[in-house]
Amino acid sequence: MSSESSDFFELKVISPTRLLTEGRVTELQVPGLDGYLGIWPGHRPLNACLGPGEIIFKTIDNREERVTIKGGVIKVEPAKILIMADLEEK
Amino acid sequence: MSTIIDLRRRIQSVRNSQQITQAMKTVATSRYRRVQKQVVARRPFWHTFPELAISLTRELNLADHPYLQVRPEKKLLVVVITSDKGLCGAFNSNLLNLAASFINEKGQNSQLALIPIGKKAVNFCRNFPWPVAASYSDGVEKKIAAISQSLSQYFDYEFIRQNVDAVYLIYNEFRSVLAPRLTATRLLPLAADLSGRSSEHPEPIWEQEASTIINYLLKFYLKAQLEHVLFESQVAEQAARMMAMENASRNAEDLISSLVLLLNKMRQAAITKELLEIQTTVEALQ
């Protein structure tokens, strides 16, 4: 996976109840425990806990999408980002 | 003559029962579809979670995480999951048989506390001398998230403080519509194989302490696992009820057809007898 130079990454957001989103994304903001983290393609591998807030990302066709979460864990790899989100269940 | 009337009544009453079992089957089928849909939606999580957990834990030595500590089993928590209502074949009775032998066996050399979920389990747990730590019944299917939340917190608290050495779950796992699989499995300590470290990627940044993240993840896992098990039991229950009602409807159909045959024979006999009587009377008059 030589993605240092690529301009998108694969994002997958899962929760125990369902797959929230999966697709190519050009930028991402997630609610870290100490404030929002901005993640761009080619980010260094990173592991972090997420707090309550919104995951905001821009898909490859330039649509902005938001997902509200209660908490979670994010794992960033060079070309792939995995977010395990805890949702407020109805 | 009275027997013909009796038979007619009998057929009618079997028909009524059949209508009821058919209606119950329809209800079970639609519930089954609904729960099944949720279970399918949950699959991606179970496909992805191990990948995440393993890759996160690879970089750490996890053997000392409290959730993975195997201690001698002196005090156990046993969760028994059944349905609230009956009429679902051997669904509950098979499970409770397994639970009874499990509890008797484990009870010989350790202390137990029971957590029944579902009305049948609640009644069942009264037969044992062990204390009931918590119990849930009435509309479990609508409270799955809340139950898993509070139980996972409770398990976490008790297990980390070493008040409890292991948590076991006894439930029906959904395998196919035909028969559920009886399962007795250990929830805590986690049996996950998280060993083996290798790092294909450069050393990642840990935004928080690695142990904080792992802790969060494992707590999350505990809750998700409980939810999963409760859902499995729900699907299995609805499938079992569907099958039981299907069988009952079929049996009713068989019963009706044999009763109708009997009725027709009797009616025929009565007609023949009357004809014979008329015949003899006519002959006697001539």
| CA B229 centroid distance within chain | 9
Closest of B45, B90, B49 to residue B239, by C-alpha? B90
% pLDDT > 90, chain A: 51
Domain assignment present for residue A53? The answer is: yes
Task: Report CB contact under 8 Å: B210, A47.
Answer: yes
Tell me which residue in B48, B212, B216 faces A82 most closely, judged by beta carbons: B48
Are both B104 and B219 inside the same structural domain?
yes
Q: Is residue B134 part of a domain?
A: yes
| Statement to judge: residues B170 and B184 lie in one domain | yes
CA B166/CA B176 separation, integer angstroms: 29
Please judge whether B202 and A44 are an interchain contact, meaning their C-beta atoms are less than 8 angstroms apart.
yes
Nearest Cα to A75, choosing from A7, A11, A2? A11
Pair (B278, B172) in one structural domain: no
| Cβ <8 Å between B216 and A89 | no
Which tops the pLDDT comparison, B207 or B11?
B11
Q: Would you say residue A15 lies in a domain?
A: yes
* 8 A C-beta contact, residue A47 and residue A70: no
User: E-assigned strands of chain B?
Assistant: 75-81, 111-117, 166-173, 181-188, 205-206
**Better pLDDT: B285 or B200:** B285
Is A70 contained in some domain? yes
Q: What does the pLDDT average to over A39-54?
A: 90
Alpha-carbon gap, residue B227 to B42, rounded angstroms:
10
Q: Is residue A46 part of a domain?
A: yes
Q: How far is CA B270 from the centre of its chain?
A: 52
Report DSSP state, residue B142: G
Residues 6+ apart with CB under 8 A from B20: none
Domain assignment of residue B14, given as a range: 2-23+243-285
Residue A47's domain comprises 9-86
Report pLDDT digits (tens) over B154-193.
999 999 999 999 999 999 998 888 888 898 988 888 876 5
Q: Please indicate, yes or no, whether residues B125 and B104 belong to a single structural domain of this protein.
A: yes
Q: Which of B48, B52, B199 to mutate to test the interface with A (most CBs of A within 10 A)?
A: B52
For B118-139, what is the mean pLDDT? 92
Lowest model confidence (mean pLDDT) among B11-25, B60-74, B262-276: B60-74
The pLDDT of residue A1: 43
Give percent above pLDDT 70 in chain B.
93
- Note the pLDDT tens digit of each residue in A66-90: 999 999 999 898 888 999 998 876 5
Chain B residues whose CB is inside 8 A of the A45 CB are 201-205
Is B269 inside a domain boundary?
Answer: yes
Chain B residues with CB under 8 Å of A36 CB are none
For residues B238 and B249, state if they share a domain.
Answer: no
Q: With bands split at pLDDT 50, 70 and 90, how would you rate the model's confidence at A4? A: very low
With respect to residue B178, please indicate whether it lies within any of the assigned structural domains. yes
Query: Residue B169's closest CA among B150, B147, B188?
Result: B188
Contacts of A48 in chain B (CB under 8 A): 206-208, 213
Position A2 scores a pLDDT of 44
pLDDT at B90 over 50: yes
Give dist(CA B150, CA B229) in Å, integer. Answer: 15
| Portion of chain B with pLDDT greater than 90, in percent | 58
Q: What confidence score (pLDDT) does residue A90 get?
A: 53
Query: pTM for the complete prediction?
Result: 0.85
> Smallest CA–CA separation between B58 and chain A, in Å?
12
DSSP class of B183: E
Q: Indicate if B107 and B219 belong to the same structural domain.
A: yes
Q: Is the same domain home to B136 and B148?
A: yes
Whether A4 is covered by a domain: the verdict is: no
pLDDT at site A5:
53
Number of domains into which chain A is organized:
1
CATH code where residue B251 lies: 1.10.287.80
Whether B145 and B251 share a structural domain:
no
B49 in contact with A, Cβ within 8 Å: yes
Number of domains composing chain B: 2
User: Quick check: is A31 in a domain?
Assistant: yes
Average pLDDT of every residue of chain B: 88
- B157 interfaces chain A, CB cutoff of 8 Å: no
Q: Do B9 and B69 fall within a single domain?
A: no
Collect all residues of chain A within an 8 Å Cβ-Cβ radius of residue B202: 44-45
My answer on whether B235 and B250 are in the same domain is no
In a domain, B198, yes or no: no
Is pLDDT above 70 for B14? yes
Name, in order, each residue with C-beta under 8 angstroms of B45's C-beta and a sequence gap of 6 or more: A14, A15, A16, A17, A18, A19, A84, B224
Give percent above pLDDT 70 in chain A: 92
Q: Are B150 and B176 in the same domain?
A: yes
Residue B5 and residue B9: Cα distance in Å, rounded?
6
Give yes or no: residues B169 and B52 share one domain.
Answer: yes
CATH number for the domain spanning B55: value is 3.40.1380.10
Q: Examine residue B45 and state whether it is found in any structural domain, yes or no.
A: yes
* pLDDT tens by residue, B270-280: 999 999 999 99
Q: Is the pLDDT of residue B241 over 50?
A: yes
Reported as a single tens digit per residue, the pLDDT across B99-128 is 999 999 999 989 999 999 999 999 999 999
Q: How many CA atoms does the CB half-sphere of B76 hold within 13 Å?
A: 25
